[in-house]
Amino acid sequence: MINDLKGGKKMAKMTMALFSGSVDKLTAAGVILSGAAADDMDVEVFVLLMGARAFIKGKKTESIAELPDHKEEFLKALEDLNIPSWQDFFEQAKELTNVKIYICSLAGKIWGGEKMDDFIDLVDDICGIGEYVSSAQEADVHLFI
C-alpha cells in the first residue's frame, strides 16, 4: 500500500510491459505478479511485440532468452521444483487481485492475432500503445520485462 497525500492508504498500482515471450522471462513475470497479488496491488500487464506470441492460442512457448544453451537444465529445474507454469502464475494472480492483461494491437497482428478469440483466456483486451503509456505514467511501480 502507498500513503496518499492525506495520510491514508491507497491501492498501489503496477504497470508491467511484457516484451519477451521466452519461458524464463514469462515465468519471472508470473512470479512478480504473484508478489504483487500477495501485496494486493492493482496490476496492468501490457504484452508487447515478442511477448504477444506466447498469448496466441496454439503457440508453444519454449524459447529461453537468458542462457539459451541451458534451456533443458532450466526447464528440468522448474519441473523438479514443481514450479507452476507461467500461465498458472498469471491465473493465480488474477484470482487474488485486480490483474488486467492487454495485448498491444500491433504485436497481436504480427503473430496473427487480431481479435480476442485468437488469444488465450488470460487476455482481457486488445489496445493501442497509448493505453500502455498512460498506465505507466500513473503507476507506482513500472516494470519492463
pLDDT score of 3 more than 70:
no
Q: What is the pLDDT of residue 1?
A: 46
69-120 pLDDT tens trace: 998 999 999 999 999 999 999 999 999 999 999 999 999 999 999 999 999 9
Report whether 57 contacts 123 (CB < 8 A): no
Q: Which CATH number covers residue 26?
A: 3.40.1260.10
* Sign, Cα dihedral of 61, 62, 68, 72: positive
20-31 pLDDT tens trace: 999 999 999 999
pTM assigned to the model: 0.89
Q: What is the pLDDT of residue 24?
A: 95
Q: What percent of the chain has pLDDT over 90?
A: 83
- Tell me the C-alpha distance between 140 and 145, whole Å: 17
Report whether 13 contacts 44 (CB < 8 A): yes
Q: How many CA atoms lie within 13 A of 111 on its CB side?
A: 24
**Into how many domains does the chain fold?**
1
Residue from 104, 102, 96, 88 nearest 31 by CA? 88
Residue ranges making up the domain that contains 110: 2-144
